[in-house]
Chain A
Amino acid sequence: MGDAYVRSLPFLLLFTSLLAAEVRLLRWSVWAYGAQGWLLALLLAGIGWFSGNEALYAWAATVAASKGLILPWLLGRYVRGGGPGSGFGVERKAPPLAISLTAAALAGAAAFLLADRFGGWLLEGLSWERSWSGVPGLQIAAAILAVGSWTLLAHRDVAKTVIGVCLVENSVHLALVSLAPSLPETGEVGIVTDVILAVWLLLAVARGAAEAAGSRDTAAYRRLAG
C-alpha cells in the first residue's frame, strides 16, 4: 500500500504542473506550484523510506524548504503586489484555456513517453532505474520540463514565465535526485540556494521591467524578441 502511495505521487506532480501552468488566476497558479514542492518532498521522503536510502531525506528537506515554502512565498508576494498590467488582462492574451491545457498535457505526455522509450537507451550504463524502486522519476522530470517549457513559450504574463522557470527547475531537481541521489548535501544546498536567488532576482527584474514598460505582457518587451 505504501508503495502504491509513492507510485501515485509522480502523477500528482504532473497534475500540479498543469495546474501551475494553465490556471489563469495567478494566485492559484502559485498555490499549485507550492503544492508541487510538497509533493516532490513527500515523494523523495517516501522513496527514501521504502528503499532505505537515507540520503533522500536531506533532499526532501531542502525541497520542502525551498520549493514548498520559500519560492511559493516569493511568487505569492509578487503576485499579491499587483503592479502595472496585472490581473487577468495579460493572461487573456495567452492561447485559450482548452487549447493551451491540451497542448501542455500533450507535450507532457509526449515527453514522458519519449523519456520512457529512450531514457534507458541514452543513459545506458547508469544505475538510475534501480535506485528509484520502480518510480518513473526521469520520465516525470521530462514531462514537467515539457510543461514548464510550454509555459515559457505560450504565456505572456511575466509572472507566468517565472512560474515556467520554476517548473523547469523542479524538473531538473527531480532529474538530479533520480540520477545522483547520493550527491553531498553541500552540493544540494548550493544548488537550491542558487535557484532561490535566481528566482528572487528574476521577480525583482520582472517587476522593474513591468513598471518601466507599463505592462506585464512579455510581448511588449522589445528586446525579448531578438
Chain B
Amino acid sequence: MLWLLILLPLVSWLAEFLPARGGAHRGYAGLPALAGCVLAFAGAVALVPALWRGEAVAGATLRLDFLGCVVVLLASGLGAVTIAFARRHLATAGAMLFGSMGLFVSAAIWTALTDQLIFLFVALEATTLTTVLPVAFRRTSAAWEATYKYLLLNTLGLSAGLLGLVLLYAAASPALGGAALSISALAAGGVQMPPRLAAVAGALVITGFGTKAALVPLHAWLPDAYQEAPGGFSALFAGVGTKLALVAMARVLPPLVGAAPSLGTALAVLASLSMVVGVALTFVQDDLQRLLGYSSVSQMGYIALAVAVGGSAGYGAAAYHMLSHGLLKSLLFLCAAALCETAGTLRLSELRERRRNGPVRTLFLLAALGLGGMPPLPAFWSKLQIFAAAARGGLGWAAGVAVFTSLLTLVTMIRTYNQAFGGEGDAAEAPTAGSAWLLGLVAGAAVLAGLVPGWITAMGG
C-alpha cells in the first residue's frame, strides 16, 4: 500500500507523455498528474485511522509515522491543487511541467516514507532533480541562472549529507549488521557512536540537508528559485520542497545528537539565524515571490528549531508547523500567481499604486495573518508548540528569538498585504477569481488545521 502512494504520481508522469505521438489534446495535459496526486492523497487519508490507532504501517523499506503522514498529505494534496491551478492559469504549461510536478510529488512521498538511509538521500536528491525543469520553466536568462545556482548548491550540499549518512551507517554496522541501513533500527538505539565521529557525521548532515532546507547561511538558492518558478509550481515548491530536508534531518539526527549533544545546539543556532535573517530580508524585497521566499527561509528556522529540540514534543511541533506553513505559504503563492495574472507584475512598488478587491485579496489577508501567527489559524498553535518545546528543552534563548521573529513576521505580512492589495489609487481590476475555489480549498484546510490543534497534537504524540 505504501509503495502505491509513491507509484501513483510516478506512473502519472509516464501517462503525461502517452498522447505525444498522436498529438495531445490541450485538455489532457496535467490530468494524469492530477489524478495521480488525488489518488495518493486518498490513499494517505485511508491510512490515517491506522496511524491514529497507533498501528505500525510499514512495508519493504518504507514506514509511515505522523511526520511522514503530514508530508504525504501535504505533497499529494498541494500537488493536486497546484496542478489544477496550473492547468487553468499557465497557458504554456505542458506534459513536461505537469510530469515534473507528478515526479516531484512521488519523490517527496518517497522521502517521507523511506526507512532506508541511502534511499533517503536518493529520494531527497530526486526531489531536487525533478524540480529543475519547473524552476527553469520561463527559460529567461534569470530563470536559467537561478536554476543553475539551485542545482549546483543542492547537489554539492546533498553530497555532504550523503557522507554524513554513510558515516552513520559505517559506525552502526558493526553492532547492527545489515539493519544499520534501517532508520527505525538506528533510532531505536543500541548504537554507541564515539562523540567525535557523531559530531562529524552530524555536521555533514546538518550542512548537507541544511542547504536543501535553505537554512542561513546556506539559503542563497531559495529566493532566486522561488522568484523564477511559475506561480502554481512555487506554491507546491514552497509548501513541500524545503521541508523534506528537515524531515530527513529529523529521521537521522537522533542517534547522532544522542552521542554529541552539541549538534542540537548548533542546529538551534542555525535555526535562530534563519528565523531572524530571513524575516529581516523580507523588509527590503520588491518582488512578492522573492519576499515570500525569504519568509520561507525564516519559517524553516522554526521547523529546524523544533527538530533541534527533538523528542516527541519537538517532532510533533515540527510536523504541525510543516502542515500550517505548507498550507499558508502555498495559499500566499497561489494568491500571488492570481494577482500577477491581472496586474501583470509582482513588483510591490508598482502594485501599491492601485487598490485591489475581490476574493483573492481576502484569502491573501487570511494567509498573511495566519503566517504571522494570528489565532485560531494553525501557525499560531504550531509556533506556540515550538516556543514551549524549545523553552522546555533548555533552548529558552532560541524560543525568545522565535517569539521576536513571529512579531516581525506579522508586521512584514501585514505590510506586504497593504502594498500588494491596499494601494491608495483607484481600484484596479480584481485579481482573477477563476480558480478561487482552489484557493478556498487550501484556505479551508488551513482553517481546519487551526481549529483542531488537539487532534493533531494527540496524533503526533
B118: contacting residue among A161, A190, A205, A224, CB under 8 A = A190
Are A205 and B132 in contact (CB-based, < 8 A)?
yes
Give 1 or 0 for each of A195-214: 1 = CB within 8 Å of chain B CB: 00110011001101100110
Across-interface contacts of B128 in A (CB, < 8 A): 198
Are A223 and B152 in contact (CB-based, < 8 A)?
no
- Tell me if A172 counts as interface (CB < 8 A to partner B): yes
Are A172 and B162 in contact (CB-based, < 8 A)?
yes
Q: Say how far A125's CB is from chain B's closest CB, in angstroms.
A: 4
Across-interface contacts of A123 in B (CB, < 8 A): 167, 196-197, 200
A198: contacting residue among B142, B151, B224, CB under 8 A = B151
Q: Given the known inter-chain contacts A125-B194, A191-B121, please indicate yes or no for A213 contacting B141, CB distance below 8 A.
A: yes
Are A221 and B162 in contact (CB-based, < 8 A)?
no
Chain A CB within 10 Å — which of B116, B156, B181, B193 has the most?
A: B156
Across-interface contacts of B181 in A (CB, < 8 A): 184, 187
The segment out of A36-44, A55-63, A174-182 that lies at the interface is A174-182
- Tell me if A65 counts as interface (CB < 8 A to partner B): no
- Tell me if A169 counts as interface (CB < 8 A to partner B): yes
Q: Given the known inter-chain contacts A121-B196, A161-B152, A179-B167, please indicate yes or no for A201 contacting B132, CB distance below 8 A.
A: yes
- Tell me if A104 counts as interface (CB < 8 A to partner B): no
Q: Given the known inter-chain contacts A121-B196, A126-B197, A194-B122, please indicate yes or no for A209 contacting B171, CB distance below 8 A.
A: no
Across-interface contacts of A182 in B (CB, < 8 A): 173
Are B144 and A190 in contact (CB-based, < 8 A)?
no
Q: Say how far A85's CB is from chain B's closest CB, in angstroms.
A: 13
- Tell me if B3 counts as interface (CB < 8 A to partner A): no
Are B129 and A175 in contact (CB-based, < 8 A)?
no
Q: Given the known inter-chain contacts A123-B167, A221-B148, please indicate yes or no for A198 contacting B194, CB distance below 8 A.
A: no
- Tell me if A226 counts as interface (CB < 8 A to partner B): yes
- Tell me if B136 counts as interface (CB < 8 A to partner A): yes
- Tell me if B139 counts as interface (CB < 8 A to partner A): yes
- Tell me if A165 counts as interface (CB < 8 A to partner B): yes
Tell me the complex Cα distance, A194–B197, Å: 26
Chain B's closest residue to A224 (CB) is B149
B145: contacting residue among A128, A191, A223, CB under 8 A = A223
Chain B's closest residue to A189 (CB) is B122
A224: contacting residue among B116, B119, B129, B145, CB under 8 A = B145
Are B156 and A212 in contact (CB-based, < 8 A)?
no
Are B159 and A122 in contact (CB-based, < 8 A)?
no
How many A residues touch B, CB cutoff 8 Å?
Answer: 43
Task: Report whether over half of chain B's contact residues are helix, strand or loop; otherwise say mixed.
Answer: helix
Q: Say how far A44's CB is from chain B's closest CB, in angstroms.
A: 16
- Tell me if B174 counts as interface (CB < 8 A to partner A): yes
A62-99 CB contacts (< 8 Å) to partner B? none
Are A223 and B139 in contact (CB-based, < 8 A)?
no
Chain A's closest residue to B155 (CB) is A198
Q: Given the known inter-chain contacts A125-B194, A190-B118, A205-B132, please indicate yes or no for A212 contacting B139, CB distance below 8 A.
A: yes
Give 1 or 0 for each of B145-185: 1 = CB within 8 Å of chain A CB: 11111011001100100110011011101100010010000
Chain B's closest residue to A175 (CB) is B163
Tell me the complex Cα distance, A156–B60, Å: 46
Tell me the complex Cα distance, A161–B155, Å: 13
Q: Say how far A214's CB is from chain B's closest CB, in angstroms.
A: 9
Q: Say how far B381's CB is from chain A's closest CB, in angstroms.
A: 35
Are B122 and A125 in contact (CB-based, < 8 A)?
no
Q: Given the known inter-chain contacts A126-B171, A212-B139, please indicate yes or no for A172 contacting B163, CB distance below 8 A.
A: yes
Chain B CB within 10 Å — which of A125, A172, A194, A223 has the most?
A: A223
- Tell me if B220 counts as interface (CB < 8 A to partner A): yes
Chain B CB within 10 Å — which of A187, A205, A208 has the most?
A: A205
Are A183 and B149 in contact (CB-based, < 8 A)?
no
- Tell me if B140 counts as interface (CB < 8 A to partner A): yes
Tell me the complex Cα distance, A172–B148, Å: 21
Are A191 and B122 in contact (CB-based, < 8 A)?
yes
Tell me the complex Cα distance, A197–B158, Å: 14
- Tell me if B126 counts as interface (CB < 8 A to partner A): yes
Tell me the complex Cα distance, A191–B139, Å: 29
Across-interface contacts of B178 in A (CB, < 8 A): 184
Across-interface contacts of B171 in A (CB, < 8 A): 125-126
- Tell me if B125 counts as interface (CB < 8 A to partner A): yes
B113-138 CB contacts (< 8 Å) to partner A? 116, 118-119, 121-122, 125-126, 128-129, 132, 136
Q: Say how far A17's CB is from chain B's closest CB, in angstroms.
A: 16
- Tell me if A102 counts as interface (CB < 8 A to partner B): no
Q: Given the known inter-chain contacts A198-B129, A198-B151, please indicate yes or no for A209 contacting B122, CB distance below 8 A.
A: no
Across-interface contacts of B193 in A (CB, < 8 A): 125
Are B156 and A168 in contact (CB-based, < 8 A)?
yes
Q: Given the known inter-chain contacts A194-B125, A208-B144, please indicate yes or no for A183 contacting B166, CB distance below 8 A.
A: yes
Are A180 and B125 in contact (CB-based, < 8 A)?
no
Across-interface contacts of B118 in A (CB, < 8 A): 183-184, 186-187, 190-191
B338-362 CB contacts (< 8 Å) to partner A? none
Are A179 and B170 in contact (CB-based, < 8 A)?
yes
Are A124 and B194 in contact (CB-based, < 8 A)?
yes
A226: contacting residue among B132, B167, B220, CB under 8 A = B220
Tell me the complex Cα distance, A121–B200, Å: 11
Tell me the complex Cα distance, A184–B166, Å: 12
Tell me the complex Cα distance, A194–B149, Å: 18
Across-interface contacts of A121 in B (CB, < 8 A): 196
Are B196 and A202 in contact (CB-based, < 8 A)?
no
- On B, residues with C-beta under 8 Å from A are 116, 118-119, 121-122, 125-126, 128-129, 132, 136, 139-142, 144-149, 151-152, 155-156, 159, 162-163, 166-167, 169-171, 173-174, 178, 181, 193-194, 196-197, 200, 220, 224
Can you name 17 A-B residue pairings with CB atoms under 8 Å?
A123-B167, A158-B148, A168-B159, A175-B166, A180-B169, A187-B116, A187-B119, A187-B181, A190-B122, A194-B125, A197-B129, A198-B125, A206-B148, A212-B145, A223-B146, A223-B224, A224-B148
> Knowing that A121-B196, A201-B132, A213-B141 are A-B contacts, what are 6 other residue pairs whose CB atoms are under 8 Å apart, sorted by A's residue number?
A193-B122, A201-B151, A202-B151, A202-B155, A205-B147, A224-B145
Cβ-closest 3 pairs across A and B: A187-B118, A125-B194, A212-B141
